[in-house]
Each structure stands twice: as C-alpha cells, then as structure tokens.
Amino acid sequence: MKTWLTYHAQALRLVLSRFKKNKLSTFLICLSIGVTLALPSTAYIILDNLNGLVSNVKSESKLSVFLSENHDDALVTTIEQALKQNPAIHSVVFVSKEDALAQLAVIDANKALLDSLSNNPLPDAFFVEPKVLDATSIESLKNELSKLDGVETVLVDGAWIKRLNYLLQLGQKVLVLLASLLGFALIVVIGNTIRMQVLTQQAEIELSKLIGATNSFIRRPFLYLGALYGLGGGALALMMTWCIILYFNQTVSAIAATYQFNFSLQFLSAFYQSIMLAAAVLLGWLSAYFSLSLSDKHS
C-alpha cells in the first residue's frame, strides 16, 4: 500500500512540476476548458431559476367557477363547503356579482359601459386554486366541478399551463444537448492535449520501457495531467459562471423591480459546485485515458 501511494505521489509531483514550467500553456488549456464548462452551467442556472419563477407564477393560476343565475344563499354555502373539502383544491375565494361589478366600476374605461346596463349581468363566482398544476389534473378537476349543482361554467386557461410546461421541457432538452456536445468537445480538447504531450515525451517513454517501466507507471502521470486539467478548468468555470450571473443580475433585478417583484438569479449551491468540479475531473481523466488507449494502439 505504501509503495502504491509513493508511485502516485511521484506522478503527481511530476505533473505539478511540469505545470510550473509551462504556466502559460497550462492556464490557456484550463481557460478553454473553463469556457466550455461555463456555458452549460450558466444555462442550467438560468433554467433552474426560471423554473422556480414559473412555479410561483403557476401558483397564481385559478379555475373560475361561475354559478347559475337563479340560486339562493344556501346553494352558495353548499358549493363552498364542497370546494373546501375537495382534496385537489388548495384555496377557494368567493366573489359575489355585486363585488365583481364594483371592481369593474373602479376602472374608468368601464364606466360608460356599466352605465348603459339596466341590471348586473355578472354571475357569482368562486376562484379556485388547485394543488396540482399539471394539465391532466386541472382538466380532471374542471370536469368534476362542472358536475356540481348550481355551477353554470368552469373556465381554466389550460393551454397557458401547457405552454409553460412545454417551454420548460424544451429548455431542459436544449440544455442536455448543449452539455453533451460541449462535453464531447471537452474530451477532444483534453485528449488532443494529452496526445501531444505523449508525442513530445516519446523518447523518454521509450527509454523508461527499456529500463523496465510498466505501462501503468508510464500512463499514471498523464492520467493525473488530464484530471488536473479538468480540475483547473472546473474551478475557472465556476469563477466565470459566478461573474456572468452577477452581471446578469444587474439587469434582471432592475426588470423585476419594475413589476414590483423581488427576483434575482441564484448561484449554484455548494453541493452542485462539488458535482461540477467532480464532473470536470472525471471528464479530464477519461479524456486522458482514451487518448492514451489510442496512442497505445498506434504505437
């Protein structure tokens, strides 16, 4: 075990010494990796924050339950109790036709129209907020409420909810595709860099084999090289992503303030930052591994 740890420590020291000798080229490689990783991470943060924002907007969606014209107070009470006892309903608000007419009268543009009416044409209504906001559940709840005695019409903007869900699904698919393409590009970039390192040190490698060095001993520094490239690129990606989100928030917060809404993009949690760094290291290691495997086949 001690010998195994010594070999790994020697390989790591060798890679770090090469980094010190080639600081500029090492930084440029890590920078290219960082830019590649920053794009999908920024897209993920924006999509995740928008998903939370859309969830809040969805929570304001309601079904409008309009009552028939001829009904008494007892029927209103019965319907209200049925709505409140329904497990699929989060909250219920009753608006009488008198209150609805008064709300319309507050708007100046409606005064001329309301003055021309001989009676109140508006119905009593319940505004229902469902617990589950997917289109299937809302459609089922709509059909259920339409069967209640005294209910004339139930309206819901189901198409609007579907569009929101489809846009979120589209954004997730685009993010997966973007991450996959950039991940492949990252493997190519690191793999090509490792391959160039192998070609540069070909004479040293051949000499090591002549004195009895094993393939694992020769490959180990290059695997560490790929992993450290990934780690450096991942760290730079986090820094760049943080700067991008900070830059975006200057405009996002200003736009949200115009709507009397407090919203800003939130950066990745420590858990997801760790996952991002681990993924970068793994990609770097895999790139080095595949590059070395290809080199062995052609040697």
**pLDDT of residue 241 exceeding 90:** yes
For 133, list phi and psi in degrees, rounded to 5. -110, 10
Element (H, E) at 62: none
Q: What is the pLDDT of residue 243?
A: 93
* Residue whose entry in the numeric block shows the structure tokens 């890590």: 30
Q: β-strands 63-67, 125-130: how paired?
A: antiparallel
- Quickly state the pLDDT bin for 260 (edges 50, 70, 90): low
Strand partners, 151: 67
The pLDDT mean for the chain works out to 79
Does residue 198 have a pLDDT over 60?
yes
Domains (range + CATH), the chain:
2-57+162-298 (no CATH), 62-156 (3.30.70.3040)
Give dist(CA 14, CA 34) in Å, integer.
23
At residue 25, the pLDDT reads 84
Task: Check whether 197 has a pLDDT greater than 80.
Answer: no
47 has pLDDT over 90: no
Report if pTM > 0.95. no
Q: Examine the pLDDT at 291 and tell me if it is beyond 70.
A: yes
Average pLDDT over residues 91-111: 71
Per-residue pLDDT at 116: 60
What is the distance between the alpha carbons of residues 256 and 237, in angstroms, rounded to a whole number?
A: 27
Beta bridge partners, 130, equal: 89
| 159-182 pLDDT, tens digit each | 666 676 677 778 888 888 888 888
CA contacts within 13 A on the Cβ side of 13: 6
Strand partners, 93: 127
As a whole-number percent, the residues of the chain with pLDDT over 70 amount to 75
Measured in whole angstroms, the distance separating CA 193 from the mean position of its chain's CA atoms is 31
Q: Mean pLDDT over residues 11-22, rounded? A: 77
131-144 pLDDT tens trace: 876 667 778 888 88
Q: Mean pLDDT over residues 149-164, rounded?
A: 73
pLDDT (mean) for 248-273: 82
DSSP code at position 107: S
| Both tokens assigned to 175 | 């993010």
Res 238: pLDDT: 94
At position 125, the amino acid (one-letter code) is A
> Contact, 287 vs 195, CB < 8 A?
no
Helix or strand run (H / E) with residue 151: strand 151-155
| pLDDT: which is higher, 241 or 14 | 241
Q: Which residues contact 165 (CB under 8 A, 6 or more apart)?
A: 134, 135
Distance CA 20, CA 23 (A): 5
Please report how many Cα atoms fall inside a 13 Å half-sphere around the Cα of residue 98, on the Cβ side: 0
